[in-house]
Chain A
């Protein structure tokens, strides 16, 4: 138990503090937004709830069906906790890959096993430690709702919120167990990360399809997101799915047991899937692969599998989103109130507004996530001593930063291009009747968006590699929330524009505006410049 407590604190302390504090504060922020958007009278709140319910049904692919959205708990469950679950699942994937692969690369696993701990007990202890940290974060995230309740003239619902936290913990722990199992298969951390994040995105899409297509409801049973959604107790009058939550806990245990069984069979440092070894005379000369000749192309070559997965996934999701945009839009327009609302909101066609929301809004999240993954890669390279080794060759610190910036710009352009190809391929068949040029421009503007996050990631990883990932992830979440809440709270335009998400806007619906692109590119340039200065001034130490 002491080991579990130590692991929970020592190995998850940054995420624990960051997610815990962030989750609590975001509950407050969404509470404020609820008060602003729903009003303070019962009548205004009831009307607000009806509108939200009506609109949310059409977006069931992306977000869960709200339960009592006219209440504070229902609204927070719909707006905040549904996003929090995805954030926690990403954290689970990163933590599971770290437990399965990162610890091994750092030699920690070897040390633990040498101290007499069995492989099975090690995985159980790591899982329990993550579960403990997760439970704390989930409880902090839901209790913020009760804490803000008196301020927005609502009733607290502590019991229901705690049950929701338990359900979230069980579901995310199941996701952790699944990734822990998958991460045993390949030998490389990057491949394991791609596997883990990929499977979670797939399960999220499966849940979305189950919520959207009546005949496919049954497939939702394989997704932990589906079972977490079945508990809606954070909303007054919501329900707690005891069997579903127990099922998630059992699934987590089964996955961890499976991971332990695979771990028992494989070699330390290797994967269950063993790729062929190359030996002999051919292995006695330096590789002549031209992509290995410069740091930039070497980096792209090394992450080629992950980059292909990101690009191809973005392409597929882009095409999928375009294909459902028209049916979703038509369903919304069939309601006169929502039709009028969209007519007021969108400067262009309703279809364009909807595509901007469904695809481009989602693509921005993908790109922000990609930036965090890249920052994680740079941080790992720094901590493992690869940057130090690179600098023992005749390579300047400036070159290291240029390498990262150009590598990121190239890789993010590929991901953006993948999304565009998916959208452009599906667009003629979709019946949306949108201007192809404007869709291209909106896609192209996603590149400076990605560059802005990449620039900040480069700066953070150049000076503070240990905190680069949580800091950039926290920044991305804060930017997203700011972009989401600023219009609801009636914040001035300049405050809203502090959010890069808001700055991007919806260029497929409105005429493209170039100043935002300029500002986003400026963030990249400033981040890159700061990275140059910070990298020059710092001391490098991998130990």
Chain B
């Protein structure tokens, strides 16, 4: 079976170390691939290269076997794309924008448009400039999903959406993948990727440093934990536990980082009077700081 996305040493060098370098990536048809990286890592450059918007300095990108630049038109018939930010459509109404892009694509079912609008509570009667940032995001999602594409390329799709609409977006993604669509989702939010993706690639400084299944990602999933005891701190409970690092005691409180399963920490707390326990998911940047701060990309990949 032809892969949905294949890149071979794909490079876009903007100079000064900026850009994307030697990206070798394969996303199989039907896969749901999360593309993670901090701001400026090269996620958008990768998407621009896949969409044929910028020329590669070297290497190639293929969409279902079609060259992303030479066969751009044929490739984009298969793609539904939601950019990080929609352009200014000024005085055009939502319905006019959708009508225009639907006509360019052809084969868009009006009932599908209506269904997505109702699910996302998007009013196409308003002018673009009257839309809030959340509504602009919904419009971008509609433009990506309305023609039931074989490949969805989504750039931080849940940005600016409220929790209810985020859930609706995740449902739409699950339905699309159930129908056999492939998803390439760029994000810097781990939880967004965890909701829908099966595989994840992590990019940093323009280089792909890790490709892993979601389960493997959980292994590197770090939480910051703070435990407050009623009877003084007990840091010794946590030292030496698998995945636990940086244990610090302060009065009645103990803070530490926990990677992977939380089971051992739970067992250690049994029998102790715990007044408060908090755990928060670090941002992806913090994960990177934890895992890659002092490593070169090659080392991290290794």
Residues of A within 8 A of B (CB): 105, 187-191, 269-270, 277-280, 282-289, 292-295, 298, 302, 384-386, 388-397, 537, 539-543
Contacts of B88 on A, CB cut-off 8 Å?
Answer: 105, 384-386
User: Is the beta-carbon distance between A287 and B93 smaller than 8 angstroms?
Assistant: yes
User: Is the beta-carbon distance between B55 and A285 smaller than 8 angstroms?
Assistant: no
User: Is the beta-carbon distance between B125 and A279 smaller than 8 angstroms?
Assistant: yes
In the complex the two chains form, what is the Cα distance from A298 to B88 in whole Å? 15
Contacts of B83 on A, CB cut-off 8 Å?
Answer: 385, 388-389, 392
A interface footprint on B73-106 (CB within 8 Å = 1, 0 otherwise): 1101101010101111111111110111111110
Contacts of B117 on A, CB cut-off 8 Å?
Answer: 284-285
Task: Determine whether B9 belongs to the interface, using a CB cutoff of 8 Å to chain A.
Answer: no
Chain A, residue nearest B100 (CB): A292
In the complex the two chains form, what is the Cα distance from A283 to B124 in whole Å? 4
User: Is the beta-carbon distance between B99 and A292 smaller than 8 angstroms?
Assistant: yes
Q: Which of A285, A295, A388, A391 has the most CB of B within 10 A?
A: A285
Asked whether A391 and B51 contact (CB < 8 A) given A188-B91, A292-B100, the answer is yes
A286: which of B51, B73, B89, B98 is its contact (CB, 8 Å)?
Answer: B98
Contacts of A295 on B, CB cut-off 8 Å?
Answer: 104
Task: Determine whether B130 belongs to the interface, using a CB cutoff of 8 Å to chain A.
Answer: yes
Asked whether A537 and B55 contact (CB < 8 A) given A285-B110, A285-B124, A386-B87, the answer is yes
In the complex the two chains form, what is the Cα distance from A293 to B105 in whole Å? 10
User: Is the beta-carbon distance between B87 and A277 smaller than 8 angstroms?
Assistant: no
Contacts of B79 on A, CB cut-off 8 Å?
Answer: 392
User: Is the beta-carbon distance between A298 and B118 smaller than 8 angstroms?
Assistant: no
User: Is the beta-carbon distance between A395 and B99 smaller than 8 angstroms?
Assistant: no
User: Is the beta-carbon distance between B104 and A393 smaller than 8 angstroms?
Assistant: yes
Task: Determine whether B237 belongs to the interface, using a CB cutoff of 8 Å to chain A.
Answer: no
9 contacts between A and B (CB under 8 A): A188-B91, A191-B91, A284-B122, A285-B117, A287-B93, A302-B91, A385-B87, A388-B83, A392-B76
User: Is the beta-carbon distance between A540 and B54 smaller than 8 angstroms?
Assistant: yes
User: Is the beta-carbon distance between A542 and B87 smaller than 8 angstroms?
Assistant: yes
Task: Kindly count the residue-residue contacts between A and B in the assembled complex, taking CB atoms under 8 Å apart.
Answer: 137
User: Is the beta-carbon distance between A284 and B123 smaller than 8 angstroms?
Assistant: yes
Contacts of A385 on B, CB cut-off 8 Å?
Answer: 83, 85-88
For the complex of A and B, 5 pairs with smallest distance between CB atoms:
A283-B125, A385-B87, A287-B99, A278-B125, A293-B103
In the complex the two chains form, what is the Cα distance from A376 to B74 in whole Å? 31
CB distance from B185 to the nearest CB of A (A): 16
- Given A278-B125, A394-B104, 19 more contacts at CB 8 Å? A270-B130, A277-B125, A284-B124, A285-B95, A286-B110, A293-B103, A302-B91, A385-B87, A386-B89, A388-B83, A389-B86, A390-B104, A391-B51, A394-B76, A396-B72, A396-B73, A539-B48, A539-B55, A541-B53
Chain A, residue nearest B104 (CB): A393
CB distance from B56 to the nearest CB of A (A): 10
In the complex the two chains form, what is the Cα distance from A279 to B87 in whole Å? 22
User: Is the beta-carbon distance between B54 and A394 smaller than 8 angstroms?
Assistant: no
CB distance from B32 to the nearest CB of A (A): 20
In the complex the two chains form, what is the Cα distance from A396 to B77 in whole Å? 11
CB distance from A109 to the nearest CB of B (A): 13
Q: Which of B76, B88, B123 has the most CB of A within 10 A?
A: B88
User: Is the beta-carbon distance between B55 and A105 smaller than 8 angstroms?
Assistant: no
